[in-house]
Chain A
Amino acid sequence: MGANVSQLEREIGSDLFPPNEHYFGLVNFGNTCYSNSVLQALYFCKPFREKVLEYKAKNKRPKETLLSCLADLFYNIATQKKKVGSIAPKKFIARLRKEKEEFDNYMQQDAHEFLNFLINHINEIILAERHASKNGNNLNGGNASAGSIGGVGVGGTSTASKSSSSTSTSTTASNSTSNGACTNSSGSLNGVGVGIGISDNASTPTQSNAANTEPTWVHEIFQGILTSETRCLNCETVSSKDENFFDLQVDVDQNTSITHCLRCFSNTETLCSDNKFKCDNCCSYQEAQKRMRVKKLPMILALHLKRFKYMEQFNRHIKVSHRVVFPLELRLFNTSDDAVNPDRLYDLTAVVIHCGSGPNRGHYISIVKSHGLWLLFDDDMVDKIEASTIEDFYGLTSDIQKSSETGYILFYQSRDCASS
């Protein structure tokens, strides 16, 4: 390991090594690669890292929370004397296992589920602390298990609710659909993915009871707004409602691009039969057409590729290793007409990669871009890689090989925030 580390420094070159940058691997405590890979990706999301370090600076003696542990960890990395090395995120993992019992074991975990939990949980901590400081003790911390909610359906629709962060209601009709396509929580044994990617927006309900609408920095970094337009086929009334998201979960097709997957995400879907739409105008369940488009583009766009698909014939989830290419630069095609910044330009900054043949077997690594360099973090190992080798993580075009190394979560960072 030591030789490897110094080799990295040699590869980059001392003169080219970015100042004030540290490339530290994270020690694996037994199947904690899901955490290590996500943490590395988040660490190299510049706005996030800065905010976490800022939090650390502001809260000298905080009560120990997951956020404080994360802040300590980031601070620990950022203040290392050595440029490269490895660090044991012991306190963070310990705290994580206390916070959420699903993670309190040595089992394989889903990296996206962890990311989802972490972002929501941090957001709640911030909100809770804000409330505590405001003396209004608004208890909403119990709502921790975001991943397991998977799109709570609240009956009725809120038409054209522009107050974005206040409501995250989804119709019961669409709820069942989103459950069908949901592979978010590893425990959800839903039916075969329908192919139409409705985001189950597991992240949003956690904010629903947050009384104050003032966004946290987690909102500022990760939160975007989806607008869901539903046209009742009976009365032709178009109703739209906004939903917040922290990441977009897209279905994957063989030999496609992430661009295409995102366009499919916003394809028009017809709600019919069991899945009808309760039209306020008609006061009844009607067939309707629905599509979801991005209204507010987040600063950091996290894209979750739904590579774990439940197969009824196997009675378990299997990995979809389809080749999905992702460019280093991205704009969204699926923006709504009233989107504020529809041609926001994103740069790929980090990718969490799943290696292996299935959801319960395998390994997570991550590649990140830092100061123009691409680095591969494999637990405590750090390697410099060429940008041209990223194509190795697109996936497989044939099903011959069982194991694959495929991009699983993509982090795109808006270029306009990179400079500021």
Chain B
Amino acid sequence: MAGQLDPNVKDDLKTQFVTREGTYRLLTLSEYSRPNRVGYTTTQSSPQVRVSIVTLPNNNPCQNTTSGNGSNGSSSSGGPINGNANGTAANNSKGSGDGSTNGSNASTTGTLVNGQQQTAYGVPAAMDARLGAGISMHTMINGGSDGQNGLANQIYGGDRICFNFGRELYVYAFRGVKKCAEISKPLDKKFYKGTNPSCHDFNATTATSTGAPLLVGFTTGQIQLVSPQPGPRELRKLYNEERLIDKTKVTCLKWLPNSPNLFLASHASGNLYLYNEDLPCTPTAPNYQPFKMGDGYTILTCKSKSTRNPLYKWIFTTENCCINEFCFSPCGSNLAIVSQDGFLRVFHYDTMELLGIARSYFGGFLCVCWSPDGKYIVVGGEDDLVTVWSLHERRVVARGQGHRSWVSVVAFDPYTTSYTNWDGGDFSDDENQMNEYSVGREARFSTDSTANGFDYIPHEKNSTPNHTRQRPHSASFRSDASSSAALAPDKLAISYRLGSVSQDTQICLWDITEDVLRHPMSLRQRVNSVNLNDTSYMNGGIDADGIKVIRPIAIGNITSPFSPPPHTSSPTKETVAPENNSNSSSSKFSTANCTISSHSSSANTPPDESAPGNGGSGNATANSNSKTNNANSRTNVTSNSIKFPNCISATKSDSMEGSVKDGGTATASTATTSGYSSKNSSSNKSTDSSTSAFNSLTQRFSNFSFLNNSEKKTSSITGSFDATQLPATHRPHRKGMSLLKSNNQTNSNHNHQQYGAMGGSSNSGSGGGGGAIDLSNSGVGTSSSTTTHSFGSLKLGKSNTHSHSLSLSAAASNAVVTSYDPMKLIGTPACPRFDECPLLEPLLCKKIAHERLSALIFREDCFLTACQDGFIYTWARPGYATQNVPQHLSPSQAAPPGGTVI
């Protein structure tokens, strides 16, 4: 009856649309959904349909097959996992051993193993399992309807797509644009009773050719890990089984970037938990002790004798802070969290420092995505807007208005983001723009260059052959984009392509150009005197907190023209030769203070090579860092009065400050550095020491602590694996980090020395604070001394910062109360007034579904949208569509140049 209200509704769905790149087409045969499409229409209050996708490595299927055959049903499944998953190989074998013995080895996995390996293998590979708390699961793997043992139609490599719908969860082989979906043959389907799956994430790091570990979160709070095993078997573990950790819905689950076993889970309660896959949960409701406090957030650790899950609990102290999504930056070092209270919070993950916040115009933020270069964050929410936030400037730089309802997903399209010096003809419309940009680039980006350090991170990651082993978002970077990035590393993104889908059933595409992002902030002069304090707080608070992390960004890059000697080449980002990458990236990253990468780069290059050049730059940077800490903490007090009519002057004043200081640093390094590096350089003679001092200062060593259960065991393996797998010069920095860890292991003497020195200095320097932390991490593992020492050094770094910026941080903590008040934030960089902010209009806005849209994933040859009715649509990019011919008949025809990356 009501259908006749809008008789034209049915016909206005778009199946294709044109942008300047060409025509995007809906591939009706590449449509994924639950196999049986009838019935079950009550989608009203079921969880959002989300999509996870992973690209599996395509090597060595034979080994898997044979060993999989051999070990069916047995517990000796350590063997079949091929070398690609070194990180988890040991863990998995251990875990499965526990599973088969029904958790007798409770010390390692304990109560977690819940699937109990009930591999009713052979007969339709279906199984039931209890998930505790009245929840049960029914699984059918490999299309059990075939009645085969599953091995015959085991699919190796390729892509896996997972989506939830109601109480069901499906895994399919994703065939992209080339083949039609076989929706009657899901690789895995699970039905849950008593709960609904609400989110999931594949671990791309430990993916094997047969599958990838899949985390599933539930509306009732539990988290399940399903690790594929050869054959129709799988290993299941359950976390928060008795809901002792959190009773509320799991809202987002993500593996830590490149981590085999660490994952973060957010809940509707507003808490965020870090788990280690291998650790048991506490048998009772966990007791926590504070680990770190910050502006409006507290991080707790589990108070128990042995290390248990959750390793950390993040609490945010605003009302109604249900975390809706979080996302790691492409470089893996920053974490963006959006929540129902309308806040975007950006953290440097390893240091747990709050880098900045943004506030919605009104209502909750629902989704978040990093730009491919890590410079910008886009959030969408209940104000129907997409909001662009600049990491570099810590402010909302633009808003986009085009949706007719809440924005449920935002995603950057890394393949359509245009860069300077792009010589592809696809973007003729951009030619003028690009010329303009390339001409005026030097001037134009002189300030912008500060963030360039981040620009390289994804590309360098992409330039490695195993870039597919990243987490799903970045897994979709295509190789030719990355290779061209490697060939032309001087590219700057000048136009970002952003996609957003909404509950209004529409998809919007946006082009965010640099001229908008560079929009002068003259309008922002409207800041009134009442808000001035808050404005200054917003910047000042960040200064106080993220001092190590933030200011050097501006400093390093501004200084590089001023003081070329310490750096390998003055406009480093412009003229980097590929073989120089490690060195140049070191200077870049260290200046940009993407600290982990500076680790990697120094670790990547052989010590004797890196020592003169790299160590030198590291030295300079470390000194300039520590210098600037002082400089900033000093200047902040004074410059607060000057610098906050708007942000530009803020960064300017800081960078000038930094450059001046940096000039002095080269000579007066030891004299002026505040304790830690001088201690180090006194205890250790070489320049390496100051590099590591820098590392230890800026790197979050807690990483080591919770990594070490697995990492300690496998780091040497991982390191060697990395070494064999990767070209030595193109090592991605995260990989390098694990390599660094192996270096730490192998060169433990050296490091211990340093850490010892650090620890010593921390004792002398910071006094009290270190004790509790040492205690909390004392049970971590065999090499706890390293850990505790590194914590000491961390503490030192913090305490130094704090001591120097004591007054400021005190002021900041006082201001916390008001800083999260949206009434006070309006008109500040965190939430400009509506007319103060450039307003973008969508490039395109199309209604593509009848139900609200719930997922959007860009891939090389297509993009995927999901709908709340449980359908996942594949849209071919221009030139990739083969929909005119029956797709399954023309596999050869459907292979455009470039192909699907595996």
Chain A positions within 8 Å of B, measured between CB atoms, are: 253-257, 259-260, 309, 311, 313, 318-321, 323, 325, 327-331, 333, 342-343, 345-346, 372, 387-389, 391-392, 396-400, 402, 415-416
Contact = CB atoms under 8 A, between A and B. Distances in A.
A318 B5 CA distance: 9
Query: Of residues A253, A259, A333, which shows the largest number of chain B Cβ atoms within 10 Å of its Cβ?
Result: A259
A311 B1 CA distance: 11
Interface stretch (B122-130, B231-239, B360-368): B360-368
Q: Name B's interface SS.
A: loop
Contact of B44 (A254, A259, A388, A396): A396
Nearest to A347: B362
Given A260-B504, A343-B833, A398-B41, A330 B363 contact: yes
Given A345-B823, A399-B3, A256 B504 contact: yes
Contacts of B504: 255-257, 260
Interface in B836-856: 850-852
Nearest to B341: A329
B488 interface: no
Interface string B35-53: 0000001011100000000
Contacts of A327: 362-364, 382-383, 406
Query: Of residues A255, A330, A342, A387, which shows the largest number of chain B Cβ atoms within 10 Å of its Cβ?
Result: A255
B361 A331 contact: yes
B822 interface: yes
Given A254-B6, A342-B833, 7 more contacts: A256-B404, A257-B384, A257-B504, A259-B383, A396-B44, A398-B850, A399-B3
A327 B340 CA distance: 10
A151 B301 CA distance: 63
A388 B5 contact: no
B406 A325 contact: yes
Contacts of A330: 362-363
Nearest to B384: A259
Interface in B307-365: 319-320, 322, 342, 361-364
B603 interface: no
Contact of B823 (A309, A320, A399, A415): A415
B26 interface: no
B834 A320 contact: no
A387 B364 CA distance: 13
B696 to A, nearest CB: 43
B359 to A, nearest CB: 11
B1 A399 contact: yes
B406 A318 contact: no
B9 A254 contact: yes
Contacts of B883: none
B119 interface: no
B826 interface: yes
13 contacts: A255-B504, A257-B404, A260-B403, A260-B405, A325-B406, A327-B362, A329-B382, A331-B834, A342-B833, A372-B319, A389-B45, A397-B851, A402-B2
Contact of B45 (A321, A331, A372, A391): A391
Contact of A400 (B4, B41, B342, B363): B41
Interface of B: 1-6, 9, 41, 43-45, 268, 319-320, 322, 342, 361-364, 382-384, 401, 403-406, 503-505, 822-823, 826-827, 833-834, 850-852, 868
A206 B750 CA distance: 86
Contacts of A333: 401, 834
A331 B383 contact: yes
Query: Of residues A343, A392, A398, which shows the largest number of chain B Cβ atoms within 10 Å of its Cβ?
Result: A343
Contact of B268 (A253, A345, A388, A397): A388
A253 B2 CA distance: 13
B527 to A, nearest CB: 13
A325 B868 CA distance: 15
Contacts of A399: 1-3, 5
Contact of B405 (A257, A342, A387): A257
The 7 lowest CB-CB distance pairs between A and B, nearest first, are: A327-B363, A399-B2, A327-B382, A399-B3, A260-B404, A257-B405, A329-B362
Nearest to B41: A400
Contacts of B833: 342-343
Query: Of residues B320, B342, B363, B822, which shows the largest number of chain A Cβ atoms within 10 Å of its Cβ?
Result: B363
B363 A255 contact: no
B362 A345 contact: yes
B455 to A, nearest CB: 34
A328 B404 contact: no
Contacts of A311: 4-5
B834 A343 contact: yes
B382 A255 contact: no
Contacts of A319: 2
A416 B2 contact: no
Given A392-B44, A397-B850, A318 B362 contact: no
Given A257-B382, A257-B405, A327-B362, A402 B1 contact: yes
Nearest to A395: B44
Contacts of B823: 345, 415-416
A256 B6 CA distance: 15
B826 A345 contact: yes
Contacts of A346: 362
A329 B823 CA distance: 12
A284 B472 CA distance: 65
Nearest to B401: A333
A318 B363 CA distance: 31
A255 B503 contact: yes
A42 B845 CA distance: 39
A397 B504 CA distance: 10
B1 A260 contact: no
A313 B851 contact: no
A255 B852 contact: yes
A318 B45 contact: no
B503 to A, nearest CB: 6
B803 to A, nearest CB: 38
A257 B852 contact: no
A342 B834 contact: yes
B832 to A, nearest CB: 10
Nearest to A264: B404
Nearest to B363: A327
Contacts of A325: 382, 405-406, 503
